[in-house]
């Protein structure tokens, strides 16, 4: 029998260790919906903003001489925190990369070190520290704190979306870019032909007139190079109009792709949430895709009133995470993940039978009345499961209130 590879084995750890590891994985993980992850992100945003402000203000001659030591102290503190964060991420990399449990802890750590996030985290402290040791004055080292901006990639996860948008839209973007280059060269050539005698300094060769062409085509027009002949000016006007047209096209392509990418991401997120609701388990991929289209993710903070007794029913909710309290007499009912509520008013058309309050932060899937009807028509088995439960709840509420 071959030797078993050493893997990140949770079974060999103590309970405390596993709990800590789970907490760190949640707080530092990319799944930002956990409470701890949100707090961590909030704290890190403040630390990042403070650190960057200290670095930027440290270069300002009107501020640095008076507040230099304070700014330096802030920079050191931020540096220390980011170095600590790097160490924690390195130690807990196996827990953070849990999807790849078949690999050894050392390999998982190496994967994290060479990942984009790992390199950004390393750049947040190593260059600063090296410069502190090497530079004659700490203020010279402080400038390496500008690399902290790389941390923004993790704080704003949707920043990665930009790369995907450009990748997906590269064909039309390249087409517009080719048109841009063509017009640029034609404009520079015409500028050279029309203006070279009057302005040999600015338009004396095609490379020289390219500067005018690019500032005009991008409609920046610094005014340092302008055509003076009539035909040169007419051509300049035409180049500006072409510039506006090309940039409008570029913006349109990017905006469309951006919106599509956001929709794709929302679809995937909703899909993940729907997969956690037992009522949709066992449904085919096509049926789930249909359900995902109709449901909308929603959140409720702890203590928030999700619906009030007596209000008209406009939507029902599936509870993915958290806990809600159905305030009925004499005893409230607590519902946990996987359950639904708010269905009775949709089924009967009567007002809400109870007030529902989130006991903890809840992640919900909202099904509005229009989509409820659509889903009821396409998936009658789901409707009958919901109706059965509503029936049971109705009689329970009646029985309880008669006792109360
Ligand atoms: P609705 O009447 O639309 O709004 C309040 C919701 O509370 C109701 O739908 C049910 O989903 C839920 N509800 C009412 N009574 C009970 C009960 N006895 N057990 C669980 N949920 C209930």
User: What confidence score (pLDDT) does residue 7 get?
Assistant: 45
Nearest CA to ligand 1 atom 16: 393
Higher pLDDT, 280 or 196: 196
Task: Give 145: exposed, middle or buried? Use CB within 10 Å, 0-12, 13-18, 19+.
Answer: buried
pLDDT for 1: 37
Q: How far is the CA of 34 from the centre of ligand 1 (A)?
A: 27
Determine the atom of ligand 1 nearest the C-alpha atom of 340: 11
Do residues 354 and 328 touch, judged by C-beta distance below 8 A? Answer: yes
Q: How far apart are CA 349 and CA 300, in angstroms?
A: 24
CB of 306 within 6 A of ligand 1: the answer is no
Q: In angstroms, rounded to a whole number, what is the distance separating the alpha carbons of residues 245 and 251? A: 10
**Residue 257 β-bridge partners:** none
Confidence of residue 2 (pLDDT cuts 50, 70, 90): very low
Give the dihedral of Cα atoms 325, 326, 332, 336; nearest 10 deg.
Answer: -50
Q: pTM for this one?
A: 0.66
Ramachandran area for residue 229 (φ above 0: left; ψ -120 to 50: alpha; else beta): beta
Residue to substitute in 324, 333, 341 for testing ligand 1 pocket (most ligand atoms within 8 angstroms of CB): 341
Look at residues 372, 317, 297 and name the one whose alpha carbon lies nearest to residue 326. Answer: 317
Question: Is the per-residue pLDDT at 48 higher than 50?
Answer: yes
- pLDDT score at 6: 45
pLDDT over 90 percentage in the chain: 63
Cα 61 to ligand 1 centre (Å): 65
pLDDT at 11: 52
Pair of tokens at residue 402: 């008669």
The pLDDT, as a whole number, for residue 46 is: 95
Is the shortest distance between the CB of 47 and ligand 1 below 6 Å? Answer: no
For ligand 1, atom 20, the nearest C-alpha belongs to 393
**Higher-scoring residue by pLDDT: 398, 9:** 398
For residue 113 the two structure tokens come to 């070190």
Between 161 and 371, the more confident residue is: 371
Closest residue by CA, ligand 1 atom 5:
354
pLDDT in tens, 52-90: 999 999 999 999 889 999 999 999 999 999 999 999 999
Q: 385: burial class by Cβ within 10 Å (0-12, 13-18, 19+)?
A: middle
Regarding the beta carbon of 319 and ligand 1, being less than 6 Å apart is answered: no
Q: Within its chain, how far is the Cα of 247 from the centroid? A: 26
pLDDT category of residue 30 using cuts at 50, 70 and 90:
low
Residue matched to tokens 């090497």: 134
Q: Is residue 140 within 8 Å of 148, Cβ to Cβ?
A: no
Query: Which residues sit opposite 363 in a β-bridge?
Result: 299, 321
> Which of 30 and 214 is assigned the larger pLDDT?
214
Q: How far is the CA of 367 from the centre of ligand 1 (A)?
A: 15
Angle at which helices 230-275 and 160-168 pack, to 10 degrees? 110
CA atoms within 13 A on the CB side of 278: 7
- Ligand 1 pocket, 341 CB below 6 A? yes
Pocket test for ligand 1, best of 354, 389, 394 (most atoms within 8 A of CB): 354
* 269-276, long-range: CB < 8 A, 24+ apart: 269/297, 270/295, 270/296, 270/297, 270/365, 273/297, 273/320, 273/363, 273/365, 274/365, 276/320, 276/321, 276/337, 276/338
**Counting atoms of ligand 1 from 1, which one is nearest the CA of 353?**
2
Between 17-31, 43-57, 346-360, the lowest mean confidence (pLDDT) is in 17-31
Give the pLDDT score at 301: 92
Q: Which of 5-14, 101-110, 248-257 has the highest mean pLDDT?
A: 248-257
- Per-residue pLDDT tens digits for 111-133: 999 998 899 999 999 999 999 99
Query: Would the CB of 354 count as within 6 Å of ligand 1?
Result: yes
Structure-block tokens of residue 148: 């902290």
Q: Can you tell me the distance from the alpha carbon of 74 to that of 228, in angstroms, rounded to the nearest whole number?
A: 55
Query: What CA–CA distance (Å, rounded) separates 316 from 42?
Result: 32
Q: How far is the CA of 270 from the centre of ligand 1 (A)?
A: 24
Q: Looking at the predicted structure, is the pLDDT value of residue 100 above 70?
A: no
Task: Tell me if 151 CB under 6 Å of ligand 1.
Answer: no
Task: List, in order, residues 6 or more apart from 83 with CB less than 8 Å away.
Answer: 124, 125, 129
pLDDT at 396: 86
pLDDT, residue 99, reads 59
Q: What is the mean pLDDT of the chain?
A: 89
d(CA 355, ligand 1 centre) in Å: 8
Ligand 1 midpoint to CA 284 (Å): 29
pLDDT of 106 over the 70 cut: yes
Q: What does the pLDDT average to over 2-17? A: 53
Task: Give me ligand 1 centre to Cα 47, in Å.
Answer: 44
pLDDT at 79: 96
Ligand 1 atom nearest the C-alpha of 345 is 3
Identify the pLDDT of residue 240. 95
Question: Does the Cβ of 386 fall within 6 Å of ligand 1?
Answer: no
Asked whether the predicted pLDDT for residue 13 surpasses 70, the reply is no
Q: Which residue has the higher pLDDT, 82 or 105?
A: 82
Per-residue pLDDT at 403: 61
Q: State the pLDDT at residue 3.
A: 39
pLDDT of residue 4: 42
Quote the CA–CA distance of 372 and 356 in Å, as a whole number.
19
Phi, psi (5° rounding) for residue 366? -95, 135
The 10 Å Cβ neighbour count of residue 322 is 19
Q: For residue 304, how far is its CA from the centre of ligand 1 (angstroms)? A: 16
- φ, ψ of residue 362 to 5 degrees: the values are -115, 145
Q: What is the pLDDT, as a whole number, of residue 404?
A: 52
Rounded to whole angstroms, what are the CA distances from 153 to 158, 186, 255?
8, 40, 20
pLDDT digits 0-9 by tens, 306-339: 999 999 999 999 999 999 999 998 889 999 999 9
Q: Is the CB of 328 under 6 A from ligand 1?
A: yes
Predicted pLDDT of residue 223 = 87
């Amino acid at each position: 029998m071959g030797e078993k590879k050493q893997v990140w084995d949770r079974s060999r750890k103590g309970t405390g260790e596993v709990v800590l590891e789970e907490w760190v994985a949640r707080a530092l993980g990319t799944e930002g919906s956990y409470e701890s992850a949100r707090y961590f992100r909030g704290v890190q945003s403040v630390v990042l903003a403070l650190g960057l402000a200290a670095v930027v203000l440290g270069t300002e001659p009107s501020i640095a001489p008076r507040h230099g030591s304070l700014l330096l102290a802030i920079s050191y503190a931020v540096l220390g925190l980011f170095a600590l964060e790097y160490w924690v991420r390195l130690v807990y990399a196996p827990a953070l990369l849990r999807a790849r449990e078949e690999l050894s802890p050392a390999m998982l750590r190496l994967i994290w070190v060479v990942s984009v996030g790992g390199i950004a985290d390393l750049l947040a402290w190593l260059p600063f520290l090296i410069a502190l040791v090497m530079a004659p004055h700490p203020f010279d080292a402080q400038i390496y704190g500008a690399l902290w901006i790389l941390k923004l990639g993790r704080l704003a996860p949707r920043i990665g979306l930009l790369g995907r948008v450009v990748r997906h839209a590269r064909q039309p973007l390249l087409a517009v870019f080719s048109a841009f280059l063509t017009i640029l060269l034609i404009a520079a050539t015409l500028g050279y032909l029309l203006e070279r005698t009057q302005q040999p300094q600015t338009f004396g060769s095609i490379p020289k007139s390219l500067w005018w062409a690019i500032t005009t085509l991008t409609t920046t027009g610094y005014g340092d190079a302008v055509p003076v002949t009539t035909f040169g000016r007419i051509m300049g006007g035409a180049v500006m109009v072409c510039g506006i047209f090309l940039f409008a096209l570029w913006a349109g392509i990017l905006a469309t792709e951006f919106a599509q990418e956001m929709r794709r991401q929302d679809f995937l997120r909703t899909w993940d949430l729907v997969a956690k609701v037992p009522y949709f388990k066992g449904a085919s991929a096509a049926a789930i895709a249909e359900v995902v289209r109709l449901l909308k993710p929603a959140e409720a903070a702890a203590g928030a009133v999700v619906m009030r007794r007596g209000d008209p029913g406009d939507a029902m909710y599936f509870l993915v995470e958290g806990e809600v309290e159905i305030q009925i007499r004499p005893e409230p009912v607590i519902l946990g993940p996987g359950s639904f509520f708010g269905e009775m008013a949709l089924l009967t058309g009567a007002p809400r039978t109870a007030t529902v309050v989130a006991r903890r932060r809840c992640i919900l899937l909202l099904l509005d009345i229009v989509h409820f009807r659509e889903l009821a028509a396409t998936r009658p088995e789901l409707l009958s499961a919901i109706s059965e439960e509503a029936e049971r709840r109705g009689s329970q509420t009646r029985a309880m209130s008669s006792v109360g």
